[in-house]
Amino acid sequence: MFNPLNYGSVAYMRYINDMGGVYGRKFDIKLGDTACAQAKGIAAAKKMVYDEKVFMITVNPCSGVAMAVKPTLEKEGVPWSGVSANPKITGSIGSGGPKGMPPKYMFHVTPNGYFSGVTMGKFIMTKPNAKKIAIVAHTNDWARGYCDPAKDYIESQGGEVVLDTAMERGSTDATAQVLQIKSKGVDGVLGCLYQPELVVLLKAAHKYKLNTPIIGALGADFGQVIQQVGNPAAVNGVFFQGHLYKDKIGSPALEWGKQILLKYLTKDELPKLVIPLISIISDCSTESEWSKASVARAAI
Could you give phi then psi for residue 260, rounded to 5 degrees?
-65, -45
Those residues with Cβ within 8 angstroms of residue 244's Cβ, 6 or more apart along the chain or in another chain: 110, 111, 218, 279, 281, 282, 284, 285
Pair 12, 278: CB distance under 8 Å: yes
Taking only the tens place, the pLDDT of each residue in 78-92 is: 999 988 888 888 875
Indicate the pLDDT class of residue 3, thresholds 50, 70 and 90: low
Separation CA 269–CA 11 (nearest Å): 9
pTM flag (> 0.85): no
Query: Which has more confidence, 130 or 280?
Result: 130
Separation CA 272–CA 275 (nearest Å): 8
Domains and CATH numbers, the chain: 32-110 (3.40.50.2300), 114-244+282-299 (3.40.50.2300)
Query: Which has more confidence, 233 or 271?
Result: 233
Separation CA 275–CA 9 (nearest Å): 11
pLDDT at 109: 84
Separation CA 28–CA 60 (nearest Å): 17
Q: Amino acid identity of 147?
A: C
Pair 141, 106: CB distance under 8 Å: no
Sign of CA dihedral 11, 13, 14, 18: positive
Those residues with Cβ within 8 angstroms of residue 241's Cβ, 6 or more apart along the chain or in another chain: 215, 216, 217, 218, 220, 222, 225
Determine what percent of the chain is predicted with pLDDT higher than 90.
58
